[in-house]
Amino acid sequence: MRFGIICVSDRCYNGECEDLSGPAIAECVKELSDENVYRLVPDEKELISAAIVEFADEFRVDVVFTTGGTGFAPRDVTPEATADVIEKQVPGISEAIRAKSLEITNRAMLSRAVSGIRGKTLIVNLPGSPKAVRESIKVIIDVLPHAVETLSGNTQSCGGNYGK
């Protein structure tokens, strides 16, 4: 699988701090990863959307993970940037992450993260902290191969149609 990792952070983009969440994502998916493409962008809706589109349409990655910009801060616009470019919503992924995260912290209910599909690419918004990124990916890692396989057009193992 090919992954796109987009760190959304004004502070990292401006060199005020180091992105630790992007590398955490890469570490979490290393067993599934053939290649990762990385981009660091500020909290600007148009730039976030453009990075997602580039990874999905030009680089044709299987999964795009964004990290950061999913909270309540005035400049947190990652969900809106994602919604602008997806063709289908996949609410179950973000709901599953929030549900599991609520077992760890009640602040998980403040996440506005979304997930969706653009072409043959799955896009998943993740939190901004490395700890929360690891916890979130752990929730969905086992379904990623099936999701990517289905998006590629292979639906033989969907809906219990095994061997049919």
* Per-residue model confidence (pLDDT) at position 158: 59
User: Out of 3.40.50.150, 3.40.980.10, 3.90.1010.10, 3.30.365.10, which CATH number does the structure's domain 2-160 have?
Assistant: 3.40.980.10
Mean pLDDT (whole number) for 44-69: 98
Q: Which two three-digit tokens encode residue 100?
A: 């599991």
Q: 80, 74 in Cβ contact below 8 A?
A: no
Domain extents for the chain? 2-160
68-90 pLDDT, tens per residue? 999 999 999 999 999 999 999 99
Distance CA 164, CA 156 (A): 7
Distance CA 137, CA 65 (A): 10
* Per-residue model confidence (pLDDT) at position 164: 40
